[in-house]
Structure 1
Amino acid sequence: MSPKVSEEHIKQRRAKILEAAIQVFIENGYERTTMKHVMDAANVSRGGLYQYFSNKEDLYEAILEENLSRRILETKELLKEKNNSYWDLLLLRLFGEDREPDDKMDPLAPSNLEFFITGRNDKRRRKYGKERYNYGIKLYTDIIRAGQESGEFSNVHDSNILARTIVTFIDGLALGHAILPTEDLKMKEQSMLFVENLKITLGVK
């Protein structure tokens, strides 16, 4: 009889595999990465890997889910804190802890583009992409709407449309980042201009 594996141990092994897989996808991109690459990086057997993830697509979706779920949960908790500045929260979601535009992009962004673009004709991938897009829209919509309801933001523009504009801008930068050198993209300069326009649109003083 095989020894019983604790739920905590299972979570830790899964987290270790995901952590290793993230680095592999950053180094190789989505298309070039294989399950064998992940097995080697995570130092697990084939059976050990497939116990948690049935294929590369399943594995990558898990990475995307972990990142998005964490951001959504954090945002929900921060929105409960009445004294928070919604503009500050918006900058946190856009640029991370520094809340300032820079030339850095999520290192997984090129792999994310590969994942969705190469699977654009796949029914399952398109369905998942739409669901993920809607979750992203909701995240920004919730922040903007809360800011409008509190009076911190102007309510001249629809919160959902503003959220879609933000996501479109981020996706556009990610595409540019995947194909252009940083100095040609001028990501920081574009982001600073976008923030200034967003500030005016939201009526932030």
Structure 2
Amino acid sequence: MSPKVSQEHMEQRRAEILKAAEKVFIEYGYERATMKHIMDAANVSRGGLYQYFSNKEAMFETILEEGLSLELDETLEMLKENATSYWDMLMKTIFGEGGEPDDEMDPLAPAKLEFFIIGRNDEHRRAYGKTRYNNGLSIYAHIIEDGQRSGEFSKKFDHEIIARSIIAFIDGLAVEDAMLSREDLRIKEQSVLFVEYLKMALGISEHSTDGK
């Protein structure tokens, strides 16, 4: 009789496999990564791996979903804490905890780009990509709309259009990051310029951001 495995152990092992898989996708990209790569990285048998995930597509989607859920939870947590500056909240959602443009990119971005472009003609992946896009859109749109309602942001432009422009900017950087060197990409300089665009679109002055 096989020994019983606790639910806690299974959840921990699943998390370890996903962590190893993410490192594999970062190193190899989505297309070149294989289940064998992930088996070796996670130090798990073939049967042990397939017990949790049937293929690398399911595994990659899980990584994306959990990352988006974490981002959404963190955003909602900031809202619950009654942040006094929606601008600060927006910057942290775009650029991370520091809330300032830098030269860093999501290391998984090239694999994400590959995943969706390669699967653009696959009905399931297109539907999944659309759902994920809309979920991400809701995060930015929610912050901007609340900022407009509070009077901190101008209502000159529709909150959803601004949110879409944020996603377009981030996705555009991901495309360039997959093809260009960091020196050619100049992420921080492009990001600083994009922040100025957001200030204009939202009616944010230097004085208001300095006093956040």
What is the TM-score of this pair, normalised by structure 1?
0.97
Structure 1, residues 3-45: CA drift from partner, whole Å, max 9, x if none?
3222211111010001001111111110000000000000001
| In structure 2, distance between residues paired with 1:200 and 1:42 | 47
| In structure 1, distance between residues paired with 2:147 and 2:124 | 35
Pairwise mapping of residues 122-137 of structure 1 onto structure 2 (< 5 A)? 122-137=122-137
Paired AA for residue 199 in structure 2: K
Q: Is the Cα contact below 8 Å between 1:78 and 1:84 reproduced in 2?
A: no
Instruction: Note the C-alpha offset of 1:49.
Output: 0.6
| In structure 2, distance between residues paired with 1:54 and 1:41 | 17
| In structure 2, distance between residues paired with 1:176 and 1:16 | 31
1:120 paired to 2:120: yes
Q: Is the Cα contact below 8 Å between 1:95 and 1:101 reproduced in 2?
A: yes
Partner residue in 2 for 1:192: 192
| In structure 1, distance between residues paired with 2:82 and 2:182 | 38
Paired AA for residue 4 in structure 1: K
Paired AA for residue 121 in structure 2: N
Q: Is the Cα contact below 8 Å between 2:101 and 2:192 reproduced in 1?
A: yes
Partner residue in 2 for 1:92: 92
Structure 1, residues 118-163: CA drift from partner, whole Å, max 9, x if none?
0000111101000000001101001101111111111111111110
Partner residue in 1 for 2:111: 111
Number of paired residues?
205
Q: Is the Cα contact below 8 Å between 2:83 and 2:89 reproduced in 1?
A: no
Cα RMSD between the aligned structures? 1.0
Paired AA for residue 198 in structure 2: L
Pairwise mapping of residues 1-205 of structure 1 onto structure 2 (< 5 A)? 1-204=1-204, 205=208
Instruction: Note the C-alpha offset of 1:87.
Output: 0.8
Structure 1, residues 160-202: CA drift from partner, whole Å, max 9, x if none?
1110000000000000011001111111111000001101211
- Which is worse superposed, 25-34 or 83-92? 83-92
% of aligned pairs identical? 65
| In structure 2, distance between residues paired with 1:55 and 1:83 | 41
| In structure 1, distance between residues paired with 2:89 and 2:49 | 37
Q: Is the Cα contact below 8 Å between 2:24 and 2:33 reproduced in 1?
A: yes
Structure 2: which 5+ residue stretches go unaligned?
none
